[in-house]
Amino acid sequence: MIDFPSKERLAHIVYESDDRASKYFDLVLLVLILMSVSIVVLDSVEEIHTNYGSLLYGLEWFFTLVFTIEYGFRIWLSNNKRGYIFGFYGLVDLLAILPTYLSLILFQTQYLTVIRALRFLRILRILKLPKYVREATLLTTALKHSQAKIKVFVGSVLTIVLVMGSVMYIVEGPASGFTSIPRSMYWAIVTLTTVGYGDIAPVTDLGQFIAALIMLMGYAIIAVPTGIVSSELTAARLDETKRAKSPEAAAEHCPACGAQSHSEDALFCRKCGAKLDAAQA
Amino acid sequence: MIDFPSKERLAHIVYESDDRASKYFDLVLLVLILMSVSIVVLDSVEEIHTNYGSLLYGLEWFFTLVFTIEYGFRIWLSNNKRGYIFGFYGLVDLLAILPTYLSLILFQTQYLTVIRALRFLRILRILKLPKYVREATLLTTALKHSQAKIKVFVGSVLTIVLVMGSVMYIVEGPASGFTSIPRSMYWAIVTLTTVGYGDIAPVTDLGQFIAALIMLMGYAIIAVPTGIVSSELTAARLDETKRAKSPEAAAEHCPACGAQSHSEDALFCRKCGAKLDAAQA
Amino acid sequence: MIDFPSKERLAHIVYESDDRASKYFDLVLLVLILMSVSIVVLDSVEEIHTNYGSLLYGLEWFFTLVFTIEYGFRIWLSNNKRGYIFGFYGLVDLLAILPTYLSLILFQTQYLTVIRALRFLRILRILKLPKYVREATLLTTALKHSQAKIKVFVGSVLTIVLVMGSVMYIVEGPASGFTSIPRSMYWAIVTLTTVGYGDIAPVTDLGQFIAALIMLMGYAIIAVPTGIVSSELTAARLDETKRAKSPEAAAEHCPACGAQSHSEDALFCRKCGAKLDAAQA
Amino acid sequence: MIDFPSKERLAHIVYESDDRASKYFDLVLLVLILMSVSIVVLDSVEEIHTNYGSLLYGLEWFFTLVFTIEYGFRIWLSNNKRGYIFGFYGLVDLLAILPTYLSLILFQTQYLTVIRALRFLRILRILKLPKYVREATLLTTALKHSQAKIKVFVGSVLTIVLVMGSVMYIVEGPASGFTSIPRSMYWAIVTLTTVGYGDIAPVTDLGQFIAALIMLMGYAIIAVPTGIVSSELTAARLDETKRAKSPEAAAEHCPACGAQSHSEDALFCRKCGAKLDAAQA
């Protein structure tokens, strides 16, 4: 506070998180985001809005100002201003502060519903959270690896939903709530994913028979994404274990020909046959 | 467009997908299928049918004509015409265009319901989709491998459903909606698969106790298909990894006796004891 | 039919299934069981009972007589008559034919409900089915291996259900349908297993918060049995693969000291150091 | 009973479970806990309370006295009295006996609801159960290993619930039961976990579309915790199998340099190149 830090230092604090000051900055921001989101959530409860509405409104403005200053700082400190402003986090930052200001300008009653909806854009602040959680990358990597298979899986599910939804639309018809194919497809998703609200349910014998088939399908199909992720994670784990066991093996070059990537327990170079261990000793 | 391609070239474009023209053809067909299916889905919505019914009817005819031309082309270009026409894709192609023509001929009101149902056969066009997705084969192979185990699993589920459905029919009776064993079995499937509509639910103490047992069973049983697919995919993955690590090992013959399939790290032939690595060097 | 087979031959046909005649016998029995069970199921449907009641009654007697003859044959042919009669399959066989005969004796109206219930014992015939399915043993073995872990899992689930059921009984009370702890526990099972009928659902804010916790628990807990079975099946599969690769290794004895169970790629005996491969060659 | 055991012997019986007397003590306590919990559960059923209320009240006092004696004994026998009294099990023991005594003191009607609630604290006795089940540690270890990943998973789920709950609050509004963001979040959890009560369900087209998205997400996301636990257990199992195969390998030191943790099939020390097997022979 006394020694005002240089612009480079500030940029480091705001954009990195590898020393004390930058970690504190991240933590404070994390807490502010969680608090501001809580306020939006609480304000949506009728009773709380009636009793503490003005207090929450004040806090709302406080957080908006804080995040506005943060937004300004981030633009000022960024080397690639255009990249930040039009990037994902820049847009989230902007959308999170904009609605409060808009509510001042668009004060006419005809825009009230729009403003009401826009105010909840502040919830988007939560999307800045993953940045502060290291472990998240672990899972996203595993998911990315199985992406191709997951796409095929989602495609199959949607095909089943389309075909089964159409069949049920013909079999049950509007009388049981299957008023259109899109609604039938909604029901098929509710059933296939085993959610089963019961707001729409088959009443004819044939309809219940087909529904039972869809349920059994859903029950069996869920094994597929689980199997994909399981095998991906198991493979990743076994890889880790192996590498942990013989860290030097990974870097083992043949002393004679320089060939790499020998199997872990190779005694002789798989290219030229020279003894590997002897050379290392 | 100017140089009209030869019949061989056309057959290649239509039936293969390994160069530019054939890939474009596949993509265009894919988009056309998705669009024609969307039209059937949209037309089933009351409001859209009322307002845009004639537009959709026109588009319907457009797609039918396009697919008719495609159907004709495929027959003309096929070397094995009989094989195509009576094969799975040939029948799907035919069933997808037939209903529109039938609606012209069977114009009498008494056939209206039948025609209505037939019109949705067009949805079947979606079944041509997997042809355009390479990755689909991956999953189907894994599923085929675990087929035997999945059959046993489905058999066990159906046995539980039959026995539990009968028990609940006696315990709860028609008063709570368990009007027959088939309906009780429908309820047992709804419960075992954890869908749980709530349209039929036990009300007696004993019935709720048995229902709780079925739920816990369903909760535990779902582990089985998941485990089957997981282990199948994990085994497949590990196999791949191993093969990738030592591609030449697979082809390793003993220089002395010619024996194959030595373990990856074998130093001596497992049949005659000759040194393997030395011979390779 | 012409050459009446010896008693030994008959016993072989009835109890084994390794040649043509015995396999035919199994298949015929399988079909008879499925048909007789179908009749019980169909007879429970009001309309079918009204229209085809007497036909089904006739078929009922036909199957009862056939299974009575089979029961007599099995006793006559068995070497261990006491073992068969009081064993699982013997009791199932008896319980499946008894009710039809009992319905003749206990003709008084006061026993009608009891007889009605007993008639469904015929469904038990389905339990003879697994005998005819070889693959079933595969899964039961895997399940038996993970039995200990599954018991702990079911124990944890029941503890959660007991504690959460009691909490919800206090929080929600009889007004929302939580009329007693047993009923609250029923609701907790419905929720934890993600069945979710909706016949009982929390209405207070605190109740809904606790319910959300239970749901998230159930969603996370289901990973445990799945993980158990997955790891068990994966381990079994990998074992199989390994054994398939080096079948002779399993029987490898040290030529010097006779020690067994060397690791697959051992070159020297792990007990006395003698060369293993050299001795085999 | 005749030879009164020493204090050391008693402490051993109460706190350990490695000989006959201490195992009997554990078993008796286990049965007493299960019985006392059953009484609380049964007493909550209206009819049973009316008919057998006084019997259950008597049994209640009997168990309270037994557990009070046990509590006293445990304090008296403990070497670390403070540690026991303020530890988890000490507090559970106290909370389990306290309510019965409190019901004597706080006899005024204004405290009745509080006492009613407190009485169910006795259910907590069930939490002493895991102490008596050896296998439980197995699962908890596996869960602890995947803790970090499970936290990230729960975090992602809560983020989805927050964002989707807010969106549905705006889209559906109070008319369909989405009266506030917290309630919308409750609905999102009910849907994402595939419980699906149906007490709150979307009615607008857009709402049902978003709900379908959440369901598909929930259906796919459940694969993640399952995959985590599966891979953790598979890795643990494979580790066990390996260790079981070569128990002496784990302790294998290089005879020349003393280096440890050689790969299972190492022939030469990975540090100094000395022959490992030769030295052992």
Mean pLDDT of A217-228: 80
Min Cα separation A267/chain C (Å): 13
Residue A259 has what DSSP assignment? -
On the question of pLDDT at B119 being above 70, the answer is no
> What percent of chain B lies above the pLDDT cut of 90?
13
Confirm or reject contact between A246 and chain B (CB < 8 A). Answer: no
**Chain D residue whose CA is closest to A219:** D219
pTM over 0.90: no
- pLDDT 10s digits, D148-204: 777 777 888 888 899 899 889 988 888 888 999 999 999 999 999 888 888 889 999
On the question of pLDDT at A84 being above 50, the answer is yes
Pick D229's closest partner by Cβ from C179, C209, C227: C227
Say whether B138 and A152 touch across the interface (CB within 8 A): yes
Which of B156, A244, C245 minimizes the C-alpha distance to D261? A244
Between CA D20 and CA A54 the distance in angstroms is 69
Say whether A142 and D227 touch across the interface (CB within 8 A): yes
Min Cα separation C250/chain D (Å): 12
- pLDDT 10s digits, D250-266: 444 555 555 444 444 44
To 5 degrees, how large is the angle CA B71–CA B138–CA B146? 115
Mean pLDDT of D11-29: 80
pLDDT for res D66: 92
Cβ neighbours for B264, distance < 8 A, ≥ 6 positions apart: A263, B242, B246, B249
**Chain A residue whose CA is closest to B219:** A219
On the question of pLDDT at A231 being above 60, the answer is yes
Four-point Cα dihedral B202, B204, B209, B214, nearest 10: -20
State the complex-level ipTM. 0.75
D147 vs B168 pLDDT, higher one? B168
pLDDT for res A261: 46
Which single residue is written with the structure tokens 């990537």? Answer: A261
Query: Residue C142: pLDDT band by 50, 70, 90 thresholds?
Result: low
- Residue C78 backbone dihedrals phi, psi, to 5 degrees: -70, 140
D20 vs C242 pLDDT, higher one? D20
Min Cα separation A163/chain D (Å): 16
To 5 degrees, how large is the angle CA C6–CA C7–CA C12? 100
Pick A196's closest partner by Cβ from C196, C226, C227: C196
On the question of pLDDT at B185 being above 90, the answer is yes
Say whether B190 and A215 touch across the interface (CB within 8 A): yes
Amino acid letter for position D142: A
Between CA B214 and CA B224 the distance in angstroms is 16
pLDDT for res D264: 46
- pLDDT 10s digits, C145-189: 777 777 777 888 888 899 899 889 988 888 888 999 999 999 999
pLDDT for res A239: 67
Pick A226's closest partner by Cβ from C195, C198, C226: C226
pLDDT for res D60: 86
**Chain C residue whose CA is closest to B170:** C117
Say whether B45 and A263 touch across the interface (CB within 8 A): no
Query: Residue D139: pLDDT band by 50, 70, 90 thresholds?
Result: low
Counts for chain D of helices (H) and strands (E), in that order: 12, 0
Between CA B15 and CA B272 the distance in angstroms is 51
Burial of residue C262 (number of CB atoms within 10 Å: 0-12, 13-18, 19+): buried
pLDDT for res B34: 83
pLDDT for res B55: 92
Say whether B246 and A263 touch across the interface (CB within 8 A): yes
Cβ neighbours for B180, distance < 8 A, ≥ 6 positions apart: B169, C44, C45, C46
Query: Residue C107: pLDDT band by 50, 70, 90 thresholds?
Result: low
| Strand partners of residue C221 | none
Cβ neighbours for D21, distance < 8 A, ≥ 6 positions apart: D13
Confirm or reject contact between A123 and chain D (CB < 8 A). Answer: yes
When the pLDDT of each residue in chain A is averaged and rounded to a whole number, the result is: 77
* Of the candidate ranges C133-137, D69-73, D146-150, the one whose mean pLDDT is the lowest: C133-137
> What percent of chain A lies above the pLDDT cut of 90?
13
Contacts C190 to A, Cβ<8 Å: none
- pLDDT 10s digits, A119-133: 677 677 677 666 556
Say whether B198 and C199 touch across the interface (CB within 8 A): yes
On the question of pLDDT at D267 being above 60, the answer is no
| Strand partners of residue A268 | A275
**Chain B residue whose CA is closest to D198:** B197
Confirm or reject contact between A97 and chain D (CB < 8 A). Answer: no
Interface of B with A in 126-185 (CB under 8 A): 126-127, 129, 133, 135-136, 138-139, 142-143, 150, 153-154, 157, 182-183, 185
Contacts A265 to D, Cβ<8 Å: 263, 265-266
Confirm or reject contact between C222 and chain D (CB < 8 A). Answer: yes
When the pLDDT of each residue in chain C is averaged and rounded to a whole number, the result is: 77
pLDDT for res D249: 42
Contacts D194 to B, Cβ<8 Å: 194
pLDDT for res B209: 93
Cβ neighbours for D225, distance < 8 A, ≥ 6 positions apart: C219, C220, C222, C223, D150, D153
